[in-house]
Amino acid sequence: MSDAVVPVPDSPVPEATQEVPVRPADWVTPPTEGEVITSVATGNSYTMGGKIGEGHFGMVYACFDTWGNDLAAKVMKPLAPYEKVKAATEAELNKLIVLRHPHITYVFDAFEYRDSFYIITERCYCPLTSLFSEVGDTFKGALWIRAVARCLLQAVQYIHNNQYVHQDIHLGNVFAAFTKDEMVVEGPGAMHFKLGDLGVAKLFSGDRRHEYTGAVDASARGVGFIGVRGARPQDGHLPLWVALSAHPARERATLHC
């Protein structure tokens, strides 16, 4: 009897374990401009506008409700299988609900429509990256730093007090917004600033507290603020030193907290 070993051919990889890239056309249908979508969760209807932005996790469309309020619809991208995207949407929604604050973008609704996941939030005017570019050569850091800092720091404090860290604070995630004046319908309202995009915010309480601390956001805030012309963090008089990345070479202003 021969002791020869008969080679066993490599087994084919089962189809179920093969990774197939998911494309938007597979199961996400973007809304069309003018389309009216009704939330099963709340019964509210939203008239969709054009695409106004896009991030890593979602595409953002302008929309408005039956009261004519300017809102934004975030449609989650299919970066993972359906169930994982659904779980990620629910997680982001829960964070937005828990972290409702005047200086954090406000969530109004969330629902599933045509196998796509929508999160409806207030629509801000624009991110600071766009705002400072729009201001152009009239930009004066000293006029902006205190207003932006007061709003942003209140938002960050509230997030930290609720045991979360944002982890992605930069000028593109800080938004200028206008509070509507109901007595002056045609006026722009009062400007203030809001922190948005909590998609990667993490809870750092309990056993995971050592992994995520407020220092993550403290260093990230360095993207948004600026110091006095010629001043440096090592000067010791500025608790938060940040360079307004939209205008890195322009004049610098000090914020004394």
Dump pLDDT digits (tens) for 189-207. Answer: 889 999 987 765 666 655 4
- Judgement on whether residues 144 and 99 belong to the same structural domain of the protein: no
252 within a domain of the structure (yes/no): no
Residues 142 and 220 in one domain: yes
Q: Which two tokens stand for residue 170?
A: 């930069």
143 and 188 inside one domain: yes
Residue 222 located in a structural domain? yes
Q: What is the CATH number of the domain that holds 205?
A: 1.10.510.10
Cβ atoms of 224 and 244 closer than 8 Å: yes
47 band by pLDDT with thresholds 50, 70 and 90: very high
- Dump the DSSP string for 87-129: HHHHHHHHHHHHT--TTBPPEEEEEEETTEEEEEEEPPSEEHH
222 and 133 in a common domain: yes
Instruction: State mean pLDDT over 117-137.
Output: 86
Which one has a higher pLDDT value, 40 or 170?
40
Of 122, 141, 170, the residue that ends a domain is 122
Q: What is the pTM of this model?
A: 0.67
In this prediction, residue 165 carries a pLDDT of 85
Residue 192 lies in a domain: yes
Query: Domain for residue 10, yes or no?
Result: no
Task: Give me the amino acid identity at 168.
Answer: D
Digit-coded pLDDT (tens) for 131-174 = 877 877 777 777 788 888 999 999 999 998 988 888 778 888 89
Percent of the chain residues topping a pLDDT of 90: 29
Residue 251 lies in a domain: no
Mapped onto helix, strand or coil, the DSSP state of residue 206 is: helix
Does residue 118 share a domain with residue 70?
yes
> Is 149 in the same domain as 105?
no
